[in-house]
Structure 1
Amino acid sequence: MSNPQDQSSSTTNPIIPGFHPDPSCVCVDGIFYLVNSTFQWFPHISVHVSQDLTNWIPCKGAINEPGYISVNDAITRGHQTEGILAPTIRYHKGTFYVICTNILLTGKADTFIVTSTDPIAGKWSAPIKIDFHGIDPSLFFDPNSDKVYFQGTMFPEKPADGKLPEGILPQIVQMEIDISTGKSISGLPKPLVKAHGGGWAEGPHVYFKDGWYYALLAEDGTEINHCVTMFRSRSVWGPFESHPQNPVLTARGTDEYVQGVGHADLFQDEAGNWWAVMLAVRLKDGRFPLGRESFLCPVTWPEGEWPVFNNSKKIRMDIENCQPLPVPKHVNEIFHKPVEETLTSTNPRLVYLRDPNFSSYEWREGGVSIVGKAANLNTPKGTSSLVSFRQRSLNAQISIDVVFQPSGDNEEAGMSVYVDQLRHFDITVRGESIVFAVSSLQQLTQTMKIPRQSERPRLSFRVRCTELMYSFDVKEECDGEFWREVGTADSLLISEWGYTGPVFALFATSNGEGETAPVLFENLVIE
């Protein structure tokens, strides 16, 4: 948005489209800093900045150096994906703090804090570990005492047989910590507040305003019944009373286009206006192919009273009654450099699967050369030889030129609409064939092969996306400017209540047999 004063007419949802769940946001000196979960993708913990809540610029992730955190063992089981999830960002006395969890469904959960004085520059500390067995951590810097409190969703201890009694759910807990070491000052975490509906609660955040401590929770999972609830107390330790309008945000029981609303965070702009960010999906005809995205709504919060979210209306694509933002006093140079969808190693939109092996990639002007290893797109753990961009538009088109001469039927390279090892649509060259494959939980993998029409190593792949369908095309040198459609895939096949969303992946693989010769990918176009 060019004019912050015209915000009410130009800010629309989702503010950060595509696979960007679990948003958390702060505003410092007129710049908004927003972080999201990344699960199995590197860099870990995506970071975006904005000066108008409309135009968001990607920065380096909060963990952008390999070796700090490993997600090589993070896999997907059904709809659940392991890895880096539910970060919270806070700012205190010149330092940004991001707290997050790296979780495996086997029960291992590592909670950590990273810090920065300049997130735009992408300079973050090494992780500081916190002794906590759970998910969805948050930080609260109490303005009344200078104490720092940690909140999270703590898993109950499992009995010897590993089976929890019916009705035993995770708890929202709190402890005072030493922010420099991450160690608890108040002993073991203590129960803080229970879910409004008596069910599963997570995503806690604590705020202080007008003599009250407020607790914001997510409840009822991250699917169609997802919601946001609020509570308050005169003491940081409770007891907390429930907001009379709980849940304060939800879309359950409605036919709204925006569904699955939940996992919210509150923040103020420089003028003192309150806002909330939350995750949601765009649901049409049972389909929401982009997964969970970041949405925004205004919050009215009169002194001493309960806040009102989005004027008590449902979250929609249009954002109503936005308060105008102050004109920024200083404009960081990052806002003068729009990020293009270019195939360069420094592009902050670029993501790799799990712990990348950077020796597999050789970057050159306008492209990248990838050496395919044994792992392929069905490999459940470890990395694969691929570079990716999130799909950020429902109606998109991506094309790429590939230069590759397979030396055997095991060698394969191409492009994929990839969610995880269970869900992906691929168009590739393998051996002497063009291969189109569809993998999903809803049907057995379907593969179609057609003979190549040219012996020349250069060919082009294209994917055309709509809200309902993905179409896959190929163009060999003998085709001139003519694209041939190879196959289609229904977006319903990746529209499941999973944790992530699709990326456009450029990949190469030897399918278990050594490695391929370098495969050149160049002339990337995303429209």
Structure 2
Amino acid sequence: MATDPINPIIPGFAPDPSLVKVDGWYYLVNSTFHMFPGLPIYASRDLVSWTHISNAINRQNQLSLTKSDTKLGGLPHSGEVMLATGGLYAPTIRYHQGTFYVVCTNIVHPGGEDVSENFIVTTQDVWKGEWSDPTYFDFKGIDPSILFDGDKAYIQGSAAPGPLTKINLFEIDLSTGKKLSEERTIWGGTGGIYPEGPHLYKRNGWYYLMISEGGTHEGHMITMARSRDVWGPYDPCPNNPILTARDTNEYIQYTGHCDAFQDETGQWWGVCLGVRKDEGGRFIMGRETFLTRGNWDGEWLSFETVKSHIDNLPPKDGSAALSAVANVDYLYIRDANLGNYEIDKTSIALTTSPVDISHPETSPTFIGKRQRKLHGQSDATIRSVSDNWHATKLRSGIACYKDEHRYVRIFYDASDSAVVFELINNAKKLAQMERHILDKVPEELALRIEYTEKEYRLMYKVGGGLDENWICLGTTDTLNMTGPDFVGPVIGIFAVAETSGLKLDFQDFRVD
């Protein structure tokens, strides 16, 4: 069977990784922004094969994602549009005295402003996935991390988020969220914009502070400073940046937002985000999780350039290296009405709502999974199509979704018994549509999205039959779904109608 390179270790929508090693297991968490459940937890014994075992935000009553809409903002000098999504940003996972801690920020947009709600969730058994309700703490910033130092715990984070933010530190009672010290600025970085993603490590009597700078795209880099006192002053590493792909021709670009750790042999590693960016500027999978070897040169840490292959680690089988506990990897948009979904082994029943996937706050009837393969396909079949759906203006099908501004989909439109291809990208002012009117209402309609690094192909097939019966309704360059953003592609099935409460049966939904 064909093998894939080791990197990325978590492919697809997997930005802002953080990792902790406990009893021979590695546990990793990522950002999820506006998708629910939030903050997936992955486990591995060997850093090669990973299993999605739970989600730290997995109950509707833990927090709300309603105000996590995506804002469009211009980028200076490039003319591109940044898509800044609210929701769950840059978690950190740590372990102390029998308890796992995940600390994170929920960015909400009341009145269009960014407001940060910082919180801690905990569990004693990471495999059961029974995470606590959030304990909130007062911090006007993002990207919080935890340092345990003796009997004290410290939060370090990126204060007052913006291009010229600083890294702040304070002592905290993690059980109550109460600050036990004043909040102090400990470092402002080396001069790059957006100093963020801080992590503190204690080694040989030094406190090492590692952060990201330069923004999460072209200028992204990792820098480091150290101090004998946790409160500083922090002196920068003379070899900064200690990790970056900027100004290189590497295939893996935008590397940054790193967490450092040691394996069982004492070897140092970093998990970081990056993108697979081709010569045409496409990085359709978004920010993914990569692994790179770390080295201590004297008293400072550095990381090897992130590559698709890592020496002395085996290639991985692309079909088996990333698995998931049953149903734990399904995703919904924001505050889902979970009563609209019935999941069986081979089928999913969707109950319609009038909300489409273009809505910035309300959750549509949509269930999906992260696109994991750069080359693959996703399928779903609508069964028992009804003549009575005409008056409901039902639209239902399969979509590749990033946010309310960007999606490509193929669906059945009951108003005129048509199959429709639609591409929307408001950031690039793209809107394309193609319709095929069917001769009659189909009893069964199969829908498919095929994808490569360069292209999405959207296809349909009426009834059964051979693969040769597939009709390609539309294609689009993946550049049309690529741009400066935070999220990655989620492929899912949806059902929207003017009449709520219709039930549709989807068979054999799968995502590569």
The verdict on a shared fold, with TM-score over 0.5 as the criterion, is yes
Note if 1:459 corresponds to 2:439: no
Alpha carbons 2:165, 2:188 under 8 Å: kept: no
Equivalence for 1:125: 132
Please list the CA deviations of residues 432-459 of structure 1 after superposition, one character each: whole Å capped at 9, or x if unmatched: 1101000012233111111114423311
CA distance in 2, matches of 1:454, 1:490: 31
Alpha carbons 1:453, 1:476 under 8 Å: kept: no
Equivalence for 1:394: 374
- List aligned pairs for 1:46-85, cutoff 5 A: 46-78=40-72, 79-85=83-89
Note if 1:521 corresponds to 2:501: no
CA distance in 2, matches of 1:205, 1:433: 53
Seen in structure 2, the aligned counterparts of structure 1 residues 402 and 10 have a Cα distance that, compared at 3 Å, is closer
Letter paired with 1:394: L
CA distance in 2, matches of 1:114, 1:464: 38
Alpha carbons 1:11, 1:54 under 8 Å: kept: no
With 223-232 and 404-413 compared, the bigger mean Cα shift is at 404-413
CA distance in 1, matches of 2:322, 2:144: 32
- List aligned pairs for 1:324-363, cutoff 5 A: 339=323, 346-363=326-343
Seen in structure 2, the aligned counterparts of structure 1 residues 305 and 526 have a Cα distance that, compared at 3 Å, is same
Note if 1:301 corresponds to 2:296: yes
Equivalence for 1:484: 471
Note if 1:197 corresponds to 2:202: no
- List aligned pairs for 1:148-167, cutoff 5 A: 148-155=153-160
- Aligned pair partner of 2:90 in 58, 69, 86: 86
- Aligned pair partner of 1:378 in 333, 358, 377: 358
Please report the TM-score for the alignment, with normalisation by the length of structure 2: 0.91
- Aligned pair partner of 2:496 in 502, 509, 517: 509
- How many equivalent pairs are there? 484
Please list the CA deviations of residues 162-213 of structure 1 after superposition, one character each: whole Å capped at 9, or x if unmatched: xx9xxx82221000111211111112x1101111125320001000001110
Note if 1:234 corresponds to 2:220: no
Equivalence for 2:263: 269
- Aligned pair partner of 1:111 in 85, 102, 118: 118
Cα offset, 1:365, TM superposition: 3.8
Secondary structure, counterpart of 2:179 in structure 1: coil
Letter paired with 2:344: R
Secondary structure, counterpart of 2:390 in structure 1: coil
Cα offset, 1:478, TM superposition: 7.1
Give structure 1 stretches of 5+ with no counterpart. Answer: 1-8, 157-163, 324-335
Seen in structure 2, the aligned counterparts of structure 1 residues 458 and 503 have a Cα distance that, compared at 3 Å, is same
Alpha carbons 1:213, 1:233 under 8 Å: kept: yes
Secondary structure, counterpart of 2:178 in structure 1: coil
Root-mean-square deviation (CA, aligned residues, Å) is 2.1
Equivalence for 2:243: 249
Alpha carbons 2:52, 2:324 under 8 Å: kept: no
Alpha carbons 1:266, 1:274 under 8 Å: kept: yes
Secondary structure, counterpart of 2:127 in structure 1: helix
Letter paired with 2:329: R
CA distance in 2, matches of 1:45, 1:67: 15
Looking at secondary structure, tell me which structure has more strand per residue.
2
- Aligned pair partner of 1:493 in 447, 471, 480: 480
CA distance in 1, matches of 2:157, 2:509: 42
Please report the TM-score for the alignment, with normalisation by the length of structure 1: 0.88
- List aligned pairs for 1:315-326, cutoff 5 A: 315-320=306-311
- Aligned pair partner of 1:411 in 385, 394, 414: 394
CA distance in 1, matches of 2:285, 2:345: 30
CA distance in 1, matches of 2:291, 2:430: 38
Equivalence for 2:151: 146
Cα offset, 1:400, TM superposition: 1.1
Q: Percent identity?
A: 39
Equivalence for 1:102: 106
Cα offset, 1:321, TM superposition: 5.4
Secondary structure, counterpart of 1:408 in structure 2: helix
Cα offset, 1:489, TM superposition: 1.2
- Aligned pair partner of 1:43 in 37, 44, 50: 37
Cα offset, 1:85, TM superposition: 0.8
Please list the CA deviations of residues 389-416 of structure 1 after superposition, one character each: whole Å capped at 9, or x if unmatched: 1001110111111123333362110000
Alpha carbons 1:11, 1:53 under 8 Å: kept: no
